Protein backbone atom coordinates (compact mmCIF):
# COMPACT_ATOMS: atom_id res chain seq x y z
CA UNK A 1 0.00 0.00 0.00
CA UNK A 2 2.92 2.32 0.66
CA UNK A 3 4.30 1.75 -2.85
CA UNK A 4 0.93 2.23 -4.53
CA UNK A 5 0.25 5.28 -2.38
CA UNK A 6 3.63 6.67 -3.43
CA UNK A 7 2.74 6.13 -7.10
CA UNK A 8 -0.53 8.01 -6.67
CA UNK A 9 1.06 10.83 -4.65
CA UNK A 10 3.95 11.30 -7.07
CA UNK A 11 1.59 11.59 -10.03
CA UNK A 12 -0.27 14.34 -8.17
CA UNK A 13 3.00 16.12 -7.31
CA UNK A 14 4.30 16.04 -10.88
CA UNK A 15 0.93 17.19 -12.20
CA UNK A 16 0.90 20.10 -9.74
CA UNK A 17 4.43 21.18 -10.63
CA UNK A 18 4.57 20.46 -14.35
CA UNK A 19 0.91 20.40 -15.32
CA UNK A 20 -0.80 17.43 -16.85
CA UNK A 21 -3.59 14.98 -16.14
CA UNK A 22 -2.93 12.54 -13.27
CA UNK A 23 -6.29 10.79 -13.71
CA UNK A 24 -4.79 8.00 -15.82
CA UNK A 25 -2.13 7.16 -13.24
CA UNK A 26 -4.65 7.35 -10.40
CA UNK A 27 -7.04 5.06 -12.28
CA UNK A 28 -4.23 2.54 -12.84
CA UNK A 29 -3.40 2.53 -9.11
CA UNK A 30 -7.08 2.10 -8.24
CA UNK A 31 -7.47 -0.72 -10.78
CA UNK A 32 -4.47 -2.64 -9.43
CA UNK A 33 -5.67 -2.17 -5.85
CA UNK A 34 -9.20 -3.30 -6.63
CA UNK A 35 -7.99 -6.30 -8.62
CA UNK A 36 -5.58 -7.32 -5.87
CA UNK A 37 -8.25 -7.08 -3.18
CA UNK A 38 -10.68 -9.15 -5.25
CA UNK A 39 -7.95 -11.71 -5.90
CA UNK A 40 -7.06 -12.04 -2.22
CA UNK A 41 -10.70 -12.63 -1.32
CA UNK A 42 -11.43 -14.98 -4.23
CA UNK A 43 -8.20 -16.92 -3.76
CA UNK A 44 -8.95 -17.53 -0.09
CA UNK A 45 -12.56 -18.59 -0.61
CA UNK A 46 -12.38 -20.38 -3.99
CA UNK A 47 -8.74 -21.27 -4.77
CA UNK A 48 -9.70 -23.25 -7.89
CA UNK A 49 -12.91 -21.65 -9.10
CA UNK A 50 -11.76 -18.03 -8.74
CA UNK A 51 -8.64 -18.27 -10.96
CA UNK A 52 -10.52 -20.54 -13.35
CA UNK A 53 -13.26 -17.94 -13.77
CA UNK A 54 -10.63 -15.22 -14.16
CA UNK A 55 -8.99 -17.24 -16.94
CA UNK A 56 -12.29 -17.61 -18.79
CA UNK A 57 -12.97 -13.89 -18.47
CA UNK A 58 -9.47 -13.06 -19.69
CA UNK A 59 -9.97 -15.16 -22.81
CA UNK A 60 -13.49 -13.94 -23.50
CA UNK A 61 -12.80 -10.21 -23.13
CA UNK A 62 -10.47 -9.66 -26.12
CA UNK A 63 -12.72 -11.88 -28.27
CA UNK A 64 -15.97 -10.10 -27.44
CA UNK A 65 -14.50 -6.60 -27.06
CA UNK A 66 -11.52 -6.34 -29.45
CA UNK A 67 -10.90 -2.64 -28.83
CA UNK A 68 -10.87 -3.15 -25.00
CA UNK A 69 -11.16 0.60 -24.35
CA UNK A 70 -12.58 3.69 -26.09
CA UNK A 71 -10.30 6.18 -27.74
CA UNK A 72 -7.94 6.31 -30.71
CA UNK A 73 -6.22 3.13 -31.80
CA UNK A 74 -2.83 3.17 -33.49
CA UNK A 75 -2.78 1.61 -36.91
CA UNK A 76 -0.02 -0.40 -38.54
CA UNK A 77 2.79 -0.91 -37.82
CA UNK A 78 2.21 -0.25 -34.11
CA UNK A 79 -1.12 -2.03 -33.85
CA UNK A 80 -3.25 -2.53 -30.75
CA UNK A 81 -2.32 -6.09 -29.82
CA UNK A 82 -0.26 -5.34 -26.70
CA UNK A 83 -3.30 -5.33 -24.41
CA UNK A 84 -4.65 -8.49 -26.08
CA UNK A 85 -1.35 -10.28 -25.50
CA UNK A 86 -1.22 -9.15 -21.87
CA UNK A 87 -4.80 -10.20 -21.10
CA UNK A 88 -4.40 -13.64 -22.64
CA UNK A 89 -1.08 -14.13 -20.84
CA UNK A 90 -2.77 -13.31 -17.53
CA UNK A 91 -5.56 -15.74 -18.45
CA UNK A 92 -3.04 -18.51 -19.12
CA UNK A 93 -1.36 -17.79 -15.79
CA UNK A 94 -4.65 -17.88 -13.90
CA UNK A 95 -5.65 -21.18 -15.54
CA UNK A 96 -2.30 -22.76 -14.63
CA UNK A 97 -2.57 -21.50 -11.04
CA UNK A 98 -6.04 -23.04 -10.79
CA UNK A 99 -4.65 -26.30 -12.19
CA UNK A 100 -2.03 -26.49 -9.44
CA UNK A 101 -4.68 -25.85 -6.78
CA UNK A 102 -7.04 -28.53 -8.15
CA UNK A 103 -6.79 -31.99 -6.62
CA UNK A 104 -8.51 -34.04 -9.35
CA UNK A 105 -6.25 -35.00 -12.31
CA UNK A 106 -9.10 -34.42 -14.77
CA UNK A 107 -9.62 -30.89 -13.48
CA UNK A 108 -5.91 -30.16 -13.77
CA UNK A 109 -5.85 -31.37 -17.35
CA UNK A 110 -8.93 -29.32 -18.26
CA UNK A 111 -7.46 -26.16 -16.75
CA UNK A 112 -4.16 -26.63 -18.56
CA UNK A 113 -6.08 -27.09 -21.79
CA UNK A 114 -7.75 -23.77 -20.98
CA UNK A 115 -4.29 -22.18 -20.73
CA UNK A 116 -3.43 -23.73 -24.10
CA UNK A 117 -6.69 -22.28 -25.40
CA UNK A 118 -5.46 -18.82 -24.43
CA UNK A 119 -2.40 -19.33 -26.64
CA UNK A 120 -4.57 -20.55 -29.52
CA UNK A 121 -6.89 -17.55 -29.07
CA UNK A 122 -3.93 -15.17 -29.20
CA UNK A 123 -2.75 -16.75 -32.44
CA UNK A 124 -6.26 -16.56 -33.91
CA UNK A 125 -6.45 -12.86 -33.05
CA UNK A 126 -3.12 -12.23 -34.78
CA UNK A 127 -1.06 -11.69 -31.63
CA UNK A 128 2.12 -13.70 -32.11
CA UNK A 129 3.54 -12.13 -28.96
CA UNK A 130 0.51 -13.25 -26.99
CA UNK A 131 0.71 -16.80 -28.31
CA UNK A 132 4.40 -17.05 -27.43
CA UNK A 133 3.87 -15.51 -23.98
CA UNK A 134 1.01 -17.90 -23.17
CA UNK A 135 3.10 -20.89 -24.28
CA UNK A 136 6.03 -19.71 -22.15
CA UNK A 137 3.77 -19.34 -19.10
CA UNK A 138 2.36 -22.85 -19.61
CA UNK A 139 5.83 -24.38 -19.96
CA UNK A 140 7.13 -22.40 -16.98
CA UNK A 141 4.19 -23.62 -14.91
CA UNK A 142 4.94 -27.24 -15.76
CA UNK A 143 8.61 -26.71 -14.93
CA UNK A 144 7.69 -25.03 -11.63
CA UNK A 145 6.19 -28.32 -10.45
CA UNK A 146 9.71 -29.78 -10.36
CA UNK A 147 11.25 -26.95 -8.35
CA UNK A 148 11.65 -27.60 -4.64
CA UNK A 149 12.47 -24.00 -3.73
CA UNK A 150 11.03 -20.86 -5.23
CA UNK A 151 13.88 -18.43 -4.44
CA UNK A 152 15.96 -19.16 -7.55
CA UNK A 153 12.84 -19.02 -9.71
CA UNK A 154 11.81 -15.62 -8.37
CA UNK A 155 15.37 -14.34 -8.81
CA UNK A 156 15.34 -15.55 -12.41
CA UNK A 157 12.07 -13.71 -13.08
CA UNK A 158 13.54 -10.52 -11.63
CA UNK A 159 16.60 -10.84 -13.87
CA UNK A 160 14.41 -11.47 -16.92
CA UNK A 161 12.36 -8.33 -16.23
CA UNK A 162 15.53 -6.30 -15.65
CA UNK A 163 16.99 -7.59 -18.91
CA UNK A 164 13.96 -6.54 -20.96
CA UNK A 165 13.93 -3.15 -19.26
CA UNK A 166 17.63 -2.55 -19.88
CA UNK A 167 17.33 -3.64 -23.52
CA UNK A 168 14.41 -1.27 -24.12
CA UNK A 169 16.37 1.64 -22.67
CA UNK A 170 19.50 0.66 -24.62
CA UNK A 171 17.60 0.58 -27.92
CA UNK A 172 16.13 4.01 -27.22
CA UNK A 173 19.51 5.44 -26.21
CA UNK A 174 21.34 4.00 -29.26
CA UNK A 175 24.03 2.33 -27.14
CA UNK A 176 23.80 -1.14 -28.69
CA UNK A 177 26.15 -2.32 -31.45
CA UNK A 178 24.81 -1.54 -34.91
CA UNK A 179 24.14 -5.13 -35.89
CA UNK A 180 22.27 -5.96 -32.69
CA UNK A 181 20.34 -2.69 -32.82
CA UNK A 182 19.18 -3.36 -36.38
CA UNK A 183 18.12 -6.92 -35.56
CA UNK A 184 15.98 -5.63 -32.67
CA UNK A 185 14.53 -2.65 -34.52
CA UNK A 186 13.20 -4.94 -37.25
CA UNK A 187 10.54 -6.72 -35.15
CA UNK A 188 9.99 -3.65 -32.94
CA UNK A 189 9.47 -1.41 -36.01
CA UNK A 190 11.14 1.93 -36.66
CA UNK A 191 7.97 3.78 -35.60
CA UNK A 192 8.04 2.29 -32.12
CA UNK A 193 11.75 2.94 -31.66
CA UNK A 194 11.26 6.54 -32.76
CA UNK A 195 8.57 6.96 -30.11
CA UNK A 196 10.99 5.62 -27.50
CA UNK A 197 13.63 8.13 -28.58
CA UNK A 198 11.11 10.95 -28.34
CA UNK A 199 10.38 9.81 -24.79
CA UNK A 200 14.09 9.72 -23.98
CA UNK A 201 14.45 13.24 -25.34
CA UNK A 202 11.81 14.41 -22.85
CA UNK A 203 13.60 12.56 -20.04
CA UNK A 204 16.83 14.38 -20.83
CA UNK A 205 15.02 17.71 -20.51
CA UNK A 206 13.21 16.90 -17.22
CA UNK A 207 14.96 13.92 -15.61
CA UNK A 208 13.61 14.35 -12.07
CA UNK A 209 9.97 15.38 -12.44
CA UNK A 210 9.25 14.53 -16.06
CA UNK A 211 6.99 16.66 -18.21
CA UNK A 212 3.84 15.79 -16.26
CA UNK A 213 1.44 12.84 -16.38
CA UNK A 214 -0.50 12.49 -19.61
CA UNK A 215 1.62 15.05 -21.50
CA UNK A 216 3.69 12.78 -23.74
CA UNK A 217 1.13 13.19 -26.52
CA UNK A 218 1.43 16.98 -26.28
CA UNK A 219 5.22 17.37 -26.03
CA UNK A 220 6.45 14.22 -27.81
CA UNK A 221 5.89 13.55 -31.51
CA UNK A 222 4.53 16.35 -33.69
CA UNK A 223 0.72 16.22 -33.80
CA UNK A 224 0.60 15.88 -37.60
CA UNK A 225 2.76 12.74 -37.76
CA UNK A 226 1.68 9.07 -37.61
CA UNK A 227 3.71 8.71 -34.40
CA UNK A 228 1.14 10.78 -32.52
CA UNK A 229 -1.72 8.38 -33.28
CA UNK A 230 -2.68 7.64 -29.67
CA UNK A 231 -0.38 9.88 -27.63
CA UNK A 232 1.46 6.92 -26.07
CA UNK A 233 5.15 6.07 -26.01
CA UNK A 234 4.35 2.33 -26.42
CA UNK A 235 6.66 1.52 -23.53
CA UNK A 236 5.49 1.74 -19.93
CA UNK A 237 9.08 2.31 -18.80
CA UNK A 238 9.85 5.18 -21.16
CA UNK A 239 6.43 6.80 -20.87
CA UNK A 240 6.73 6.77 -17.08
CA UNK A 241 10.24 8.21 -17.33
CA UNK A 242 9.14 10.95 -19.73
CA UNK A 243 6.05 11.96 -17.75
CA UNK A 244 7.11 11.36 -14.13
CA UNK A 245 10.91 11.26 -14.22
CA UNK A 246 13.32 8.84 -12.62
CA UNK A 247 11.36 8.83 -9.35
CA UNK A 248 8.29 7.63 -11.22
CA UNK A 249 10.36 4.86 -12.80
CA UNK A 250 11.72 3.87 -9.37
CA UNK A 251 8.17 3.64 -7.99
CA UNK A 252 7.06 1.53 -10.96
CA UNK A 253 10.01 -0.80 -10.42
CA UNK A 254 9.29 -0.95 -6.69
CA UNK A 255 5.72 -2.04 -7.37
CA UNK A 256 6.90 -4.94 -9.54
CA UNK A 257 9.62 -5.84 -7.06
CA UNK A 258 7.11 -5.93 -4.23
CA UNK A 259 4.91 -8.31 -6.21
CA UNK A 260 7.85 -10.70 -6.64
CA UNK A 261 8.66 -10.42 -2.94
CA UNK A 262 5.04 -11.19 -2.04
CA UNK A 263 5.10 -14.23 -4.33
CA UNK A 264 8.29 -15.44 -2.67
CA UNK A 265 6.67 -15.17 0.76
CA UNK A 266 3.18 -16.40 -0.10
CA UNK A 267 1.76 -19.45 1.69
CA UNK A 268 0.47 -20.78 -1.62
CA UNK A 269 2.31 -23.76 -3.14
CA UNK A 270 5.56 -23.01 -4.97
CA UNK A 271 4.15 -23.91 -8.44
CA UNK A 272 1.33 -21.39 -7.96
CA UNK A 273 3.73 -18.63 -6.91
CA UNK A 274 6.14 -19.24 -9.78
CA UNK A 275 3.36 -19.59 -12.34
CA UNK A 276 1.85 -16.26 -11.33
CA UNK A 277 5.32 -14.72 -11.31
CA UNK A 278 6.03 -15.99 -14.82
CA UNK A 279 2.74 -14.57 -16.14
CA UNK A 280 3.27 -11.19 -14.47
CA UNK A 281 6.86 -11.03 -15.73
CA UNK A 282 5.67 -11.79 -19.26
CA UNK A 283 3.11 -8.98 -18.95
CA UNK A 284 5.86 -6.65 -17.69
CA UNK A 285 7.91 -7.53 -20.78
CA UNK A 286 4.94 -6.86 -23.07
CA UNK A 287 4.32 -3.54 -21.30
CA UNK A 288 7.99 -2.56 -21.68
CA UNK A 289 7.62 -2.61 -25.48
CA UNK A 290 3.95 -1.67 -25.85
CA UNK A 291 1.02 0.24 -24.39
CA UNK A 292 -0.60 -2.66 -22.49
CA UNK A 293 -0.71 -0.82 -19.16
CA UNK A 294 -2.81 1.94 -20.73
CA UNK A 295 -5.79 -0.44 -20.58
CA UNK A 296 -7.69 -0.74 -17.32
CA UNK A 297 -8.56 -4.38 -18.02
CA UNK A 298 -4.87 -5.26 -17.99
CA UNK A 299 -4.06 -3.45 -14.74
CA UNK A 300 -7.10 -5.01 -13.04
CA UNK A 301 -6.08 -8.43 -14.33
CA UNK A 302 -2.50 -8.06 -13.13
CA UNK A 303 -3.67 -7.08 -9.65
CA UNK A 304 -6.19 -9.92 -9.65
CA UNK A 305 -3.59 -12.57 -10.51
CA UNK A 306 -1.18 -11.23 -7.91
CA UNK A 307 -3.97 -11.33 -5.33
CA UNK A 308 -5.00 -14.87 -6.23
CA UNK A 309 -1.42 -16.11 -5.89
CA UNK A 310 -0.81 -14.38 -2.55
CA UNK A 311 -4.15 -15.04 -0.85
CA UNK A 312 -3.85 -16.57 2.60
CA UNK A 313 -5.48 -20.02 2.82
CA UNK A 314 -8.46 -20.12 5.17
CA UNK A 315 -7.76 -21.96 8.45
CA UNK A 316 -8.92 -25.57 8.51
CA UNK A 317 -11.88 -26.46 10.76
CA UNK A 318 -10.90 -28.25 13.99
CA UNK A 319 -10.33 -31.96 13.51
CA UNK A 320 -9.66 -31.85 9.74
CA UNK A 321 -5.98 -30.93 9.68
CA UNK A 322 -4.88 -34.58 9.65
CA UNK A 323 -7.90 -36.00 7.86
CA UNK A 324 -8.19 -37.15 4.30
CA UNK A 325 -9.69 -35.29 1.40
CA UNK A 326 -8.70 -32.16 -0.41
CA UNK A 327 -9.22 -29.89 2.59
CA UNK A 328 -6.67 -31.65 4.73
CA UNK A 329 -4.19 -31.81 1.88
CA UNK A 330 -4.55 -28.10 1.19
CA UNK A 331 -3.91 -27.36 4.83
CA UNK A 332 -0.74 -29.45 4.83
CA UNK A 333 0.58 -27.53 1.81
CA UNK A 334 0.48 -24.37 3.88
CA UNK A 335 2.45 -25.97 6.72
CA UNK A 336 5.62 -24.36 8.10
CA UNK A 337 8.33 -24.32 5.49
CA UNK A 338 5.80 -24.27 2.63
CA UNK A 339 5.99 -20.51 1.85
CA UNK A 340 9.63 -20.77 0.77
CA UNK A 341 9.81 -24.36 -0.46
Among residues 216, 213, 287, the alpha carbon closest in space to that of 255 is found at: 287
- Evaluated on CA atoms 255, 270, 279, 198, the torsion sign reads positive
- Report the C-alpha gap between 35 and 299 in whole angstroms: 8
| H or E segment and range at residue 331 | helix 325-333
pLDDT of residue 181: 85
pLDDT of residue 139: 96
pLDDT of residue 244: 95
Q: Indicate the pTM of the whole model.
A: 0.88
pLDDT of residue 325: 41
- Report the C-alpha gap between 202 and 74 in whole angstroms: 21
pLDDT of residue 53: 97
> Mind listing the pLDDT tens digit for each residue in 212-245?
998 887 776 655 555 555 678 889 999 999 999 9
pLDDT of residue 332: 37
Q: Enumerate residues 6+ apart whose C-beta is below 8 A from 177.
A: none
To 10 degrees, what angle do helices 236-265 and 2-18 make? Answer: 160
Contact assessment for residue 63 and residue 264, using Cβ atoms and an 8 Å cutoff: no
pLDDT of residue 265: 94
pLDDT of residue 268: 93
Instruction: Extract the residue ranges of the chain whose pLDDT is less than 50.
Output: 71-72, 75-79, 321-341
Amino acid sequence: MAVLGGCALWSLITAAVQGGRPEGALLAVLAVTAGHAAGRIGGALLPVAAPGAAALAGIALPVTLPQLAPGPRPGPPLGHLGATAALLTLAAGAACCAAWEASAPAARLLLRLLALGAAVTAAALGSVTGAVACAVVLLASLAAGRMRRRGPGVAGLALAAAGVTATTWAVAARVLPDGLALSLEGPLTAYRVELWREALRLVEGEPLLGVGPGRFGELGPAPDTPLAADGKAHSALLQQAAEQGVIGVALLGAAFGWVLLALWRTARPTPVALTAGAALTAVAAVAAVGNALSFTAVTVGAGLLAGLATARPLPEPPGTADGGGSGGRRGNRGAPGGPYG
